[in-house]
Structure 1
């Protein structure tokens, strides 16, 4: 269940403390008034922002991520960066700690539960900013990323603001490049606008990461800690059900490093599919039709295969469905050759089915476990192997 957030005392009075500094002995009234006015102007245009950054075993990316955040055009004295480590078994904590020693804005917290929603909630409770920005360790952020989000949040009536993800390969291998291409391709991810891009700002059902006013968490609660994956989807849908609005900004970009191996992509998309039925059950609705397609596709193949020995029509339908899918994959592969080269394009022929079948199979398991047999003992979500 999502938990409620009490309004912390230090945040309720933070603005009054920042806006009116203590009077120094011997200070001239004019100089003191100028300092007070300057701080008021800064607080008005640059509200205190809390960045919440969950991570676990991210030694390869966390340094570049933090360096990009610290290079932001937003004033660093108006930032706090809460890095919540999920008991990393690599050098992640050391990398964060070294930067925290050099930059007072960085705080390192420990998430003993290890899962992402627990890390997010821990950081939100510890945050003191009026605005909370969720970030990801697999991402680097341009200088204007944070100012763009904060400005849009202040200028609009949106409750959550996000930008478009530019997906980059983990390395130069054909498979890694194909994974990055598939995660930005409509055939791979459907009409997920924050992945495939849009031409103008638009209202959407979800954005990556997110920039929120703190009062949103006070109004609708925190992230649901039962959801190892898809906690962002559930939160955004809950926000919409409470009358909130989510704005996607095409000019605000972040650069996401995709997984390197097919097995990691398969595991991640299996988990996405597995938790989608639980999100739908909790909120009594499916977020988007695109999320049903992989499961329905897999169901149609399984159903026609099961009925095929007895019904000719089932064999014909199954062949038509499978053949149409193969043609679609080959069409995408052929279209990619010109832009990616033939090695990457051929790898796409494996990546697309990996995405679709992993997600679809996860959806089936999720329906079985969360909807049809919800009272059976389940494996502790914290023990489910994660891709990060």
Structure 2
């Protein structure tokens, strides 16, 4: 076994951590419990948390010498990832989220994919789960194609080359070649990194048999903040990389614009400013929100809508919360750029 382990590449796991007292131990245990028999280390990029995260991380680091802690005063995820990667020692880098939990054979299967395909990055499927009724409703939305737009790592797809990958298992040499994550991008940094990896002539590979558990935000306000910030940065990425963004990114902002136009039209009709044939023709605008509401109702309350009506109602308002927050953020980011937008669902501000 020792000889076999010595012939395997070492693996560095990297996790940016900020205000994750409730989740970081689960993530760390799933990393340390990997079946990979080669050398491994875990680099935690620790931001200035305001909860008990530091104490939890300190306890874990004392228990296992493979855990290395680096400080990330900037708090931003890409900065933390780069700090952790630069502090790592091994040729394979595995990104892990503090809200995630890896299957025991995740590393072994992902590295086998790297060797088999020659890809620079391999990723799998995000399987969201919930500990509370609200979080479970958000998890169902994450796992639904109607929820997050059908990206392969949300809804699953056939194995093969991909636009991006959830988290990612990287060849360190390729990360160095493309100069790691872009620290000017606070959300969507993974998509942008994979864009540069592919532009450099390498491939990104999706394997649907690789599954990672993800724990979504636990409250409505955190969900709104997260999706608003994510949408804002996606708008910024569209500004930077026009023509390279999938069509699904434009669906939520179109919905927001359609709702806004419908509200304006309704006001003009009620006040008599718009009437007659123009009013009838313009009323076709109402089809967009009507169709959305019909689809939302069917998905939420259909046969697969869940066993309890309370769960179905939660899902019914969680989905538009995600779509409208993301869409409104996208429009703002597209019009004025992301600027200093921060995901305050992480910072606790």
User: TM-score, normalising length from structure 1?
Assistant: 0.82
Q: Distance in 1 between matches of 2:110 and 2:22?
A: 26
Question: Would you say 1:362 and 2:334 are equivalent positions?
Answer: no
Q: Distance in 1 between matches of 2:149 and 2:279?
A: 32
The one of 112, 119, 136 equivalent to 1:158 is 119
> CA contact under 8 A between 1:118 and 1:225: conserved in structure 2?
yes
Question: CA, structure 1 residues 219+98, in 2 after alignment: closer, same or farther (shift >3 Å)?
Answer: same
Q: Which residue of the partner structure matches residue 193 of structure 1?
A: 152
Q: Which residue of the partner structure matches residue 16 of structure 1?
A: none
Q: Distance in 1 between matches of 2:305 and 2:264?
A: 40
The one of 296, 300, 312 equivalent to 1:345 is 312
Q: Which residue of the partner structure matches residue 42 of structure 1?
A: 5
> CA contact under 8 A between 1:81 and 1:106: conserved in structure 2?
yes
The one of 237, 262, 284 equivalent to 1:279 is 237
Unaligned runs of 5+ in 2: 269-273
Question: Would you say 1:122 and 2:83 are equivalent positions?
Answer: yes
Q: CA deviation at 1:345?
A: 0.9
Q: Distance in 2 between matches of 1:336 and 1:207?
A: 31
Question: Would you say 1:207 and 2:174 are equivalent positions?
Answer: no
Q: Which residue of the partner structure matches residue 250 of structure 1?
A: 208
> CA contact under 8 A between 2:125 and 2:210: conserved in structure 1?
yes
The one of 64, 68, 82 equivalent to 2:26 is 64
Q: Distance in 2 between matches of 1:336 and 1:266?
A: 28
Question: CA, structure 1 residues 317+109, in 2 after alignment: closer, same or farther (shift >3 Å)?
Answer: same
Larger mean Cα displacement after TM superposition, 295-304 or 210-219: 295-304
SS at match of 1:183: helix
Q: CA deviation at 1:116?
A: 0.4
Question: Would you say 1:92 and 2:59 are equivalent positions?
Answer: no
SS at match of 2:330: helix
Larger Rg: 1
> CA contact under 8 A between 1:205 and 1:287: conserved in structure 2?
no
User: TM-score, normalising length from structure 2?
Assistant: 0.91
> CA contact under 8 A between 2:228 and 2:325: conserved in structure 1?
yes
Question: CA, structure 1 residues 128+362, in 2 after alignment: closer, same or farther (shift >3 Å)?
Answer: same
The one of 220, 225, 236 equivalent to 2:178 is 220
Q: Distance in 2 between matches of 1:340 and 1:179?
A: 16
Unaligned runs of 5+ in 1: 1-34
Q: CA deviation at 1:313?
A: 4.8
Q: Which runs of 4+ in 1 moved over 6 A?
A: none
Question: CA, structure 1 residues 326+241, in 2 after alignment: closer, same or farther (shift >3 Å)?
Answer: same
> CA contact under 8 A between 1:169 and 1:259: conserved in structure 2?
no
Question: Would you say 1:268 and 2:229 are equivalent positions?
Answer: no
Q: Distance in 2 between matches of 1:87 and 1:323?
A: 45
